[in-house]
Amino acid sequence: MDLVFATHNANKLKEVSLLLPKDIRLISLEDLGCNEEIPETGTTLEANAQLKADYITKHYGISCFADDTGLIIDALNGAPGVHSARFAGEEKDSEKNMEKVLFELKNITSRTARFKTVIALNLNKKRILFEGVVEGRITKENLGAQGFGYDPIFIPIGYDQTFAQLPIQIKNEISHRGKALQKLIIYLTKQGI
């Protein structure tokens, strides 16, 4: 089965393609010829994921899924949350985003946080949401060179390394995106897809 993943983020595309069963072929927005920036005007992760999926379904008439992910930091009242990609500005600069988080937490000892991913699936005129959450804490500095986004400053509970230090196989098993994707895969399997 071919399934469109509504993202322009090459890192997400690579991560997700490693998790999908071999009988599902991931189609990128570039493969579709969709180069425009899909509006993310929702006030929640759920709304943004659904907006992206709906955009592709409406403009291309094809089944697809989209995700939105946020880093939720307790000491920052849930920020950056739905604004995670643009926390330090519209240019979506991961380094600047991490710098801003570390600056905001400079004198704060309680650094509990969680990543949350919501996947919106549009399939056969149905719209379904899947959610994945991983609890953890924010480091005091960037650690590790793998991963993307906030991975170098997030240590999941039960581990002493950031997502950017952990092997990709471990990250994919325990991550927010991995958990949401597993729910999506289970759903697709039950539908006989």
In 3D space, the residue among 170, 121, 131 whose CA is nearest the CA of residue 19 turns out to be 170
Q: Give the list of residues 6+ apart from residue 70 with CB closer than 8 angstroms, or none.
A: 45, 80, 81, 82, 83, 84, 115, 116
Let me know if 68 is a catalytic residue: yes
3-class SS at 191?
A: coil
Amino acid (one-letter) located at 168:
I
Torsion of CA 56, 84, 71, 121, to 10 degrees: 0
From the list 2, 68, 93, 151, the catalytic residue is 68
Exposure class string for 23-60: b at 16+ Cβ within 10 A, else e: ebebbbbeeeebeeebebeeeebbbbbbbbbbbbbeee
d(CA 30, CA 7): 9
d(CA 37, CA 2): 22
Active site residues per annotation: 68
